[in-house]
Structure 1
């Protein structure tokens, strides 16, 4: 009887530790005092690099946009991670490399994308699995189709 209760306690302990939450930080660690020290009209690319380091990424359409991204998430067992805190520091430069603007946003800009179910909506006729699998048999050798031989 004592062995069963010990085994039950160990099993319960293992089950509870499997459901433990995980916290994770990804990206840049933003020091608020250093971020506030970046001043438009005073700083340039070199001084921003010395103060904050290299950016997380630069703008896709304009390399004079630098982004420093920091994100904290929590996750319980096998569920999807949930964002608890996010900071995006956007530093914009002019063509000469001088800071023109510094903007900071939080997790309010995170977009929730909800998939449209388990099927992809398409235009046109609906075909079954077997129609898709066997539908092209015999159509290649018909005259007038691309790839067919005409005599």
Structure 2
């Protein structure tokens, strides 16, 4: 009887330790931002898009309007138990170029510089109800008057 109790206690303690170990926070890093040493190699007014890619790598994303710049983005995300993942740190490195493709400026932004943008789903509804395309097509056949074409 004494052996069963000690085995149950050891089992409960082991189960408790395993469940507590499962509730530790995990941190994951997504993306890439070059180090300060690598950025020192870039000279504004001298380096171009090609030399920036050669020196520090291809960016995470680039500007869509007139190829305005390169953006290197790195995020640290905390995963904890059943909770939704939370972004605890984010760094954005923006390298802007002039119209000739030469480096104009290098800026860093953090999580505190960001703004929350609410996304809304908007659906444009038509006012015809459940009338299908075929019904609309055949419904217009009787509405044509020959006199309208000759006047």
Same fold (TM over 0.5): yes
Over the aligned positions, Cα root-mean-square deviation in angstroms equals 3.1
Find out whether 1:65 has 2:69 as its counterpart: yes
TM-aligned CA distance change 1:121 to 1:88, over 3 Å: closer
Q: Say if 2:33 and 2:92, in contact at 8 Å, map to a contact too.
A: no
Count of aligned residue pairs for this structure pair: 132
- Structure with a larger share of its residues in helix: 2
- Contact 2:33/2:91 (<8 A) preserved: no
SS at match of 1:71: strand
Rate the CA distance shift 1:113–1:97 in 2: closer, same or farther, 3 A: closer
Aligned to 2:14: 10
User: How is 1:1-151 mapped onto 2 (pairs within 5 angstroms)?
Assistant: 1-112=5-116, 146=136
Are the equivalent residues in 2 in contact too, given 1:71–1:83 (CA < 8 A)? Answer: yes
Calculate the TM-score normalised by the size of structure 1.
Answer: 0.70
The C-alpha deviation readout for 1:57-98, integer Å capped at 9, x for no partner, is 111223231101111122211212222322111111123221
Which stretches in structure 2 are left out of the alignment for 5+ residues? 124-128, 143-151
Q: Secondary structure at the match of 1:23?
A: strand
Query: Which has more radius of gyration?
Result: 2
Answer yes or no: is the 8 Å Cα contact 1:67–1:88 preserved in 2.
Answer: yes
Give the TM-score taking structure 2 as reference length: 0.70
- Per the alignment, residue 126 of structure 2 pairs with none
